Amino acid sequence: MEANTKSRVSSVDVIIIGAGFGGLGMGTKLAREAKHSFLILERGKDVGGTWRDNHYPGAACDVPSHLYSFSFRPNPEWSHTFAPQREILDYMRGVAKEEGLLDRIVFDAEVTDARWDETAGGWRVSAGGVEYFAKNLVTAVGHLSEPKFPSIAGIGDFTGELFHSAQWNDEVDLAGKRVGIIGSGATAIQVLPEIAKVASEVVSFQRSAPYVTPRPDRAYTDAEKGLFRKRPETMQELREEMFWANEERYAQRRNTPSLVSAAAQVALDHLHREIQDPVLREKLTPDYTFGCKRVLKSSDYYPTFLLGHVELETNGIAEVTATGIRTASGQEHELDVIIACTGFEATDLPIAYLLHGREGKPLSDQWATGMQAYATSAVHGFPNLWIINGPNTGLGHNSAVYIAESQIDYIMQALNYRDDQGLVALEVSEEAEEAFMDEVDRLAQGTVWLEGGCKSWYVDARNGRLTTLWPEPAYTFRQVNSAFTPEPYLEQANISLTEPVLAEAH
């Protein structure tokens, strides 16, 4: 009976995978337009994606909240310029509830397989033991959602607590503990100051020193929030100011020495203001071009190293032992807890292994030498598949939500075009996809990522291409990737599938 009801509702126009910013945004647009039936399949027990998983102490966004939120759901209540994780998660829960999405989200539904069914003209999706069918499939599984553990010898031997920052173990009380933090990226710099407040000893294992600029955070006053409520256009003005300020930072990435060095100087001045000890300063000084990796923001990271119980270890990790970490120089650090702040799988998207297109081959095969998509969201051989926050959507400088919204606009137009034209399948041509990627390559020339001697997750080691990042300003992303035109798509006139076949499929 239960299975029966489920399978009846499980045939829809659109299935969205993932209920993070991407999936909720897509769902909101579909719900508001009310033309398509849809379901959101989410493997977790809650919405929020990134902001559900990353609930480590100190977690917050580093793009200002009035910008790092949906343009169509402004929020006058943001407490701070950079809202903490909890507030972002609550905002997303609010969106899901108020946009009527909760009825359409299936939780505990991890998609394990999704196949294009040529005869039925749609996608067969397996999730949580249930089979679903949808004419269109939208993946919004995130690009920073698969924790990446370091491959360090002996990591299985540790007898204390070891976990990844995105799988924070709330059971472990860090008070009075000796804690090792591996990594010095965006997460580590948020985690470290918080851990140092409670732990008895903290060792930060740093492979490469990041550029850290001050984070100009502050609380919004009641007057400001009141004004935002009464005159929402003032929120929009603030959002625009934030957006264009971030866009300006894009110019720094264009490998213009005067701008790169001016921006780097802000970070180095910050370091020099906070850290006087020459040895510590040296260790915290980055050795790569500014902007190569994500530029981090924190005002309390550097001061944390001045605390007596906090140590910065730069000698590289040789192995994890039963009781701690041994460095390459042979020093042993006895630890109770190890927290891996080692980032995420970014160039190799796990979802690609689950998606099977026209010829039954997985997308991961097609992407074996690097991922690519037309207009960042359509892939040849995979009809009616739309990818949010996939290839070339990462920004070094602006809001990921803005990017997702641009893609959602595109996908909405594509879905409506497919309907209006009575097409069964909408599939981009390989030529259009290649031409698009050539254009991305061209745009990437002269950016700091390809020319600054950068070695970071932005560049796919397999083909040396910029596959994760969008090499232009965010505004240009919207210009290029948010308006659907049918020309790049294959002629589908010869396919004469009719709707009744679809209905019978389930």
Ligand X SMILES: Cc1cc2nc3c(=O)[nH]c(=O)nc-3n(C[C@H](O)[C@H](O)[C@H](O)COP(=O)(O)OP(=O)(O)OC[C@H]3O[C@@H](n4cnc5c(N)ncnc54)[C@H](O)[C@@H]3O)c2cc1C
The residue from 7, 71, 413, 463 that contacts other proteins (CB under 8 A) is: 71
- Selection from other proteins, ligand X, none that 187 binds (CB < 5 to 8 A by kind) is ligand X
Toward other proteins, which CB reaches closer, 172 or 443?
443
Q: Which stretch binds ligand X (CB under 6 A): 141-149, 228-236, 311-319, 467-475?
A: 141-149
Toward other proteins, which CB reaches closer, 347 or 398?
398
- Verify binding: residue 100, other proteins, rule CB under 8 A: no
Q: Return the exposure string of 410-436: e unless at least 16 CB atoms fall within 10 Å of the residue's CB, then b.
A: bbbebbeebeeeebbbbbbbeebbeeb
The residue from 11, 75, 136, 145 that contacts ligand X (CB under 6 A) is: 145
Interacting positions 203-222 with other proteins (CB under 8 A): 216
If DSSP states are collapsed to H, E and C, what string results for 140-192?
A: CCCCCCCECCCCCCCCCCCCCEEEEHHHCCCCCCCCCCEEEEECCCHHHHHHH
- Selection from other proteins, ligand X, none that 98 binds (CB < 5 to 8 A by kind) is none
- Selection from ligand X, other proteins, none that 20 binds (CB < 5 to 8 A by kind) is ligand X
Q: Which stretch binds other proteins (CB under 8 A): 88-96, 133-141, 291-299, 468-476?
A: 468-476
- Selection from ligand X, other proteins, none that 63 binds (CB < 5 to 8 A by kind) is ligand X
Q: Which stretch binds ligand X (CB under 6 A): 4-12, 53-61, 271-279, 372-380?
A: 53-61
> Residue 403's Cα: distance from chain center in Å?
11
Rounded Cα gap, residues 498 and 210, in angstroms: 57
Q: Which residues contact 339 (CB under 8 A, 6 or more apart)?
A: 56, 162, 163, 164, 165, 179, 180, 181, 182, 191, 195
Q: Can you spell out the DSSP letters for 338-401?
A: EEE---B--SS-GGGGTEE-TTS-BHHHHTTT----BTTTB-TT-TTEEESS-TT-B-SSS-HH
- Verify binding: residue 261, other proteins, rule CB under 8 A: yes
Rounded Cα gap, residues 256 and 398, in angstroms: 19
Rounded Cα gap, residues 474 and 484, in angstroms: 18
Rounded Cα gap, residues 158 and 156, in angstroms: 6
- Verify binding: residue 44, ligand X, rule CB under 6 A: yes
Interacting positions 373-412 with other proteins (CB under 8 A): 402
389 close to 461: Cβ distance less than 8 angstroms: no
The residue from 126, 208, 256, 429 that contacts other proteins (CB under 8 A) is: 256
Rounded Cα gap, residues 214 and 212, in angstroms: 7
Rounded Cα gap, residues 239 and 399, in angstroms: 11
- Verify binding: residue 140, ligand X, rule CB under 6 A: yes
- Verify binding: residue 254, other proteins, rule CB under 8 A: yes
Toward ligand X, which CB reaches closer, 17 or 95?
17
* Residue among 395, 404, 380, 375 at smallest CA distance from 474: 395
Q: How far is the CB of 215 from other proteins (least distance, A)?
A: 12
Q: Return the exposure string of 486-506: e unless at least 16 CB atoms fall within 10 Å of the residue's CB, then b.
A: eebbbebeeeebeeeebeeee
The residue from 21, 51, 243, 436 that contacts other proteins (CB under 8 A) is: 243
Binding mask 15-34 for ligand X (x = CB under 6 A): --xxxxxxx-----------
- Verify binding: residue 237, other proteins, rule CB under 8 A: yes
- Selection from other proteins, ligand X, none that 71 binds (CB < 5 to 8 A by kind) is other proteins
Element containing residue 126 per DSSP (H, E): strand 122-127
Token code pair at residue 278: 């020459």
Toward other proteins, which CB reaches closer, 56 or 220?
220
- Verify binding: residue 250, other proteins, rule CB under 8 A: yes
Q: How far is the CB of 68 from ligand X (least distance, A)?
A: 5
Q: How far is the CB of 442 from ligand X (least distance, A)?
A: 25
Binding mask 330-369 for ligand X (x = CB under 6 A): ---------------------x------------------
Bridge partner residues of 162 (DSSP):
338
- Verify binding: residue 239, other proteins, rule CB under 8 A: yes
Toward other proteins, which CB reaches closer, 56 or 449?
449
Q: Give the sign of the dihedral formed by CA 50, CA 52, CA 53, CA 54.
A: positive
Q: Which stretch binds other proteins (CB under 8 A): 37-45, 231-239, 332-340, 426-434?
A: 231-239
46 close to 93: Cβ distance less than 8 angstroms: yes
The residue from 198, 209, 227, 259 that contacts other proteins (CB under 8 A) is: 259
Q: Give the sign of the dihedral formed by CA 348, CA 124, CA 425, CA 409.
A: negative
> Using CB under 8 A as the criterion, which residues of the chain lie in contact with other proteins when the complex forms?
67, 71, 216, 236-237, 239-241, 243-244, 247-248, 250-251, 254-259, 261, 402, 443, 446, 472-473, 475-476
> Using CB under 6 A as the criterion, which residues of the chain lie in contact with ligand X when the complex forms?
17-23, 41-44, 49-50, 54, 59, 61-63, 68, 110-111, 140-142, 144-145, 187, 351, 388-389, 399-400
